[in-house]
Amino acid sequence: MGRGLCRILSMWMVFGDTSEEDETNRRVCALFHLFPTMKKILILVLFVFFFSLDVNAQEKVSSMDFIDLGLSSGNLWAKANLGALEYYEVGNYYAWGETETKTNFTKETYKYYKCSIEKDANGFDVTYKGFVKYVISEKSDYGYKGFYDNITTLEPSDDAVYAELSNDCCMPKVKDFEELYTLCIWTECSINNVKGWKVTGPNGNYIFFPCGGYYKGSVCKRLNIDGCYWASDYR
- 15 vs 159: which has the higher pLDDT: 159
pLDDT at residue 10, rounded to an integer: 62
Domain membership flag for residue 128: no
Query: What percent of the chain lies above the pLDDT cut of 90?
Result: 64
State yes or no: pLDDT of 161 exceeds 60: yes
Q: How confident is the model at residue 2 (pLDDT cuts 50, 70, 90)?
A: low
pLDDT at residue 5, rounded to an integer: 74
- Secondary structure of residue 24 in the 3-state scheme: helix
Domain membership flag for residue 199: yes
Domain membership flag for residue 162: yes
Report the distance separating Cα 134 and Cα 211, nearest Å: 28
- When pLDDT is averaged across residues 82-107 and rounded to a whole number, the result is 93
Report the distance separating Cα 152 and Cα 89, nearest Å: 29
Domain membership flag for residue 117: no
pLDDT at residue 199, rounded to an integer: 97
* 39: Cβ contacts below 8 Å, ≥ 6 apart: none
- Strands, sheet with 219-221, edge to edge from the N-terminal-most edge strand: 11-12, 214-216, 219-221
Buried b (16+ CB within 10 A) or exposed e, 140-158: bebbbeeebeeeeebeeeb
Report the distance separating Cα 60 and Cα 58, nearest Å: 6
pLDDT at residue 222, rounded to an integer: 93
Q: How far is CA 111 from the centre of its chain?
A: 16
Domain membership flag for residue 32: yes
State yes or no: pLDDT of 27 exceeds 80: no
* 100-156 per-position pLDDT tens digit: 999 899 988 999 999 999 999 999 999 999 999 999 988 888 999 999 999 999 999
Q: How far is CA 34 from CA 5, 172, 174, 182, 184, in A?
A: 16, 12, 7, 9, 12
Domain membership flag for residue 208: yes
- When pLDDT is averaged across residues 213-228 and rounded to a whole number, the result is 92
- When pLDDT is averaged across residues 200-208 and rounded to a whole number, the result is 97
Q: How many Cβ atoms are within 10 Å of 168's Cβ, its own excluded?
A: 12
5, HSE (Cβ side, Cα atoms, 13 Å): 26
pTM as predicted: 0.76
Give bridge partners of residue 196 from the DSSP assignment: 189, 210
Domain membership flag for residue 140: no
Domain count, the chain: 1
Instruction: Provide DSSP, 56-123.
Output: ----B--TT-EEE---TT--EEESS-TT-SBTTS---B--TT--S--S-BSGGG-TTEEEEEEE-TTS
Query: What percent of the chain lies above the pLDDT cut of 70?
Result: 74
Dihedral (C-alpha) 230, 147, 116, 15: value to the nearest 10 degrees? -40
Domain membership flag for residue 132: no
Which residue range forms the structural domain that includes residue 181?
4-104+153-221
End-to-end distance of the chain based on CA atoms, in angstroms?
24
State yes or no: pLDDT of 44 exceeds 60: no
